[in-house]
Structure 1
Amino acid sequence: MTGWVKVGRCDRVRAIALAASSATCLMFCAQGQALAQATENLVNPTRSTSVEATPVAPAGNVAGETPIAPTGSNTGENPIAPAGNVVGETPVTPDKNAEANPNPSSTAQWPELPPLDAAAYLPDAKARVRLELRLGERRVYLYEDDKVTASYPVAIGKSSTPTPTGEYKVFQLIENPIWKNPWTGQVTAPGANSALGLRWIGFAQMSNGIIGFHGTPTVSSIGQAASNGCVRMHNEDVVALFSKVEMGTPVTVIR
Structure 2
Amino acid sequence: MNLKGKVAVITGAATTQGIGWATVRQFAAHGANIALLDLEANDPAEHASQISGEHRGYSCDVSQRDQCEGAITDIMRDFDQIDILVNNAGVVFGTRFTDITPDEYEAVIDVNLRGNFHMCQSVVPHMRTNGGGAIVCISSIAGQVGGGLFGSSHYAASKGGIFSFSKALARELAPDGIRVNAIAPGVIDNDFTKGRMTQDIKTDIATKVPMGRLGRPEEVAKCCLFLASDLSSYVTGAVLDVNGGLHIH
* TM-score calculated relative to the size of structure 1: 0.16
By percentage of residues, which structure has more helix? Answer: 2
By percentage of residues, which structure has more strand? Answer: 1
Bigger radius of gyration, 1 or 2? 1
